[in-house]
Structure 1
Amino acid sequence: MKNRAPTYLKHQFLIAMPHMADPNFAHSLTYIVEHTANGAMGLTINRPLDLNLKDILEQLRPERAVPELCEHVPIYAGGPVMTDRGFVLHPASMSFDATVELQEGLALSTSLDALGSIADGNGPRRSLICLGYAGWEAGQLEAELADNAWLTCPYSAHILFNTSSELRLDAAAKHLGVNLNLLSTQAGHA
C-alpha cells in the first residue's frame, strides 16, 4: 500500500460540526491561513465582538481623531490565541508593512498601518479585522477532523467579504450542499 501525501487545508474554511463542545469554536466558521505538518493557524470569521475599528484606533493612537465611519467597521474574535494581536484579511491588491499574500488574491496584514489606511479611507475596499487567532499543534487539527469535529469547505471570497457574519456558517455549509440544522449533534463514526 502506498503512503499518501498528507492533505493540508490552507486556504479553506472549517465548519464547526453541531456537536462541537469547545466554546471557542462552537458554531464557528474558520478560515485556515496556514496548515503544515507543524500545525495550523486560522481566523474565525463569524464572531463579531462588541468592538469596532473606532474603539481599537482610539486605544492605539489616542492623539489622532478617528473618523465616525470607523464605528461601522466590526472587529471579529479570530480565535483564543493572542487576543491582543490584530489580523486583517483583505484583497492582495494592497500591501502594508506586514503583509503576506495568501492565495486567490487574498492577503493577511498584521501591522497598524493597515488599520490606519482603512480608517482614512485609503485602505482595501473589502476587509475583515480579527483580534486573536486559532492555532493547532502538529497533528491536532488532523485528530479533530478524524473525530468529526469539522467539515472542510473550499474558500469563497463571497462568503468572506459579501455575506453577513451571522449567515457565513450556513452559507459555507450550503456551499457543500449541507444543511447544518439536519445534522445530528452527536459525534460518531460510520
Structure 2
Amino acid sequence: MDGAFLTGQMLIAMPTIGDPRFERALILLCAHDETHAMGVAVNRPVEGLSVPDLLRRLDISAGAGVTETPVLMGGPVEMERGFVVHTDDYGAEHTIPVPGGYALTATREVLAAMAAPGAGPRRAILALGYAGWSAGQLEGELRHNVWLTCEADEALVFDDDHATKWTRALAKLGVDPQFLTAEAGRA
C-alpha cells in the first residue's frame, strides 16, 4: 500500500470473503496505521435490540428525542463493549477524531449525551464490538481482494436503510455486485 492509510474510508466486503461475520459488511475504518487497523461495521443491526433498549439496560434515562434505531454489530472483537460513531460536532475526553467529519467515542458519557435532547452529536450510531487487524493484516487482505474501499458519506454511515448500504457503497464505485470476483488480474 506504499504507506497509504485508510482511516476514514469504508471497507466493502467482497462476496467471496469466506467469513460469515463479515458477509456483506460495510465498515468505517476509524484507525489505520503501520501497527493496526480498527473499524466499526455500520450495516449489521442486532435483531431485537434498539438504542433506547440498551440505554434502559444501562440505567440511562432517554429523552423524548431518542429514536428506536437499532444497535449495530460493530464487529467480532469486544462484542460486550459499546462504540459510538458520530459526527465530529461532539467530543469528549476520549473521543477519537476520524477524517471526513466523524468521530469515535466508547464511553458512558457519550451515551448519556445521546439520551439528553440537544446534548449529543448531530448524528450517531451505537455498535457492539469492532473489527480489528494487526500490523499488515488489513493490507494483506486488500492485496488478496477481500475488501474494496470507498469514500465514507453520512448516508452510508448513519442512515437506517441497513439492507442497502453494501450495495450503495459498491454503486459509489460503479460496481454491480453480480460482477464481483475474488480473482485479481495482472497486466
1:102-126 Cα distance to aligned partner (Å, 9 max, x none) = 2222111111121122122232231
Cα distance in 1 for partners of 2:176, 2:34 equals: 31
Mapping of residues 7-26 of structure 1, within 5 Å: 7-26=4-23
Match of 2:105 among 109, 129, 137: 109
Residue 55 of structure 2 aligns with which residue? 57
Comparing 130-139 with 120-129, which one deviates more in the overlay?
A: 120-129
Alignment-mate amino acid for residue 70 of structure 2:
P
* Alignment length (residue pairs): 183
Alignment-mate amino acid for residue 143 of structure 2:
A
* CA drift at 1:65: 4.5
Cα distance in 2 for partners of 1:68, 1:93 equals: 21
Cα distance in 1 for partners of 2:54, 2:155 equals: 26
* CA drift at 1:55: 2.0
Percent sequence identity is: 37
Residue 72 of structure 1 aligns with which residue? 68
Bigger radius of gyration among the two: 1
> SS in structure 1 opposite 2:169?
helix
Cα distance in 1 for partners of 2:88, 2:4 equals: 25
* CA drift at 1:151: 0.6
Residue 88 of structure 2 aligns with which residue? 92
Cα distance in 1 for partners of 2:132, 2:92 equals: 24
Runs of 4+ with >3 A deviation? 64-71
Q: Is the contact made by 2:88 and 2:103 (CA closer than 8 Å) also made in structure 1?
A: yes
Cα distance change of structure 1 residues 161 and 66 upon mapping to structure 2, 3 Å threshold: closer
Alignment-mate amino acid for residue 55 of structure 1:
D
Residue 184 of structure 2 aligns with which residue? 189
> SS in structure 2 opposite 1:158?
helix
Counterpart check, 1:34 vs 2:31: yes
Cα distance in 2 for partners of 1:97, 1:57 equals: 21
Query: Gaps spanning 5+ residues in structure 2: where?
Result: none
Q: Is the contact made by 1:52 and 1:70 (CA closer than 8 Å) also made in structure 2?
A: no
Q: Is the contact made by 1:54 and 1:67 (CA closer than 8 Å) also made in structure 2?
A: no
Cα distance change of structure 1 residues 56 and 97 upon mapping to structure 2, 3 Å threshold: farther
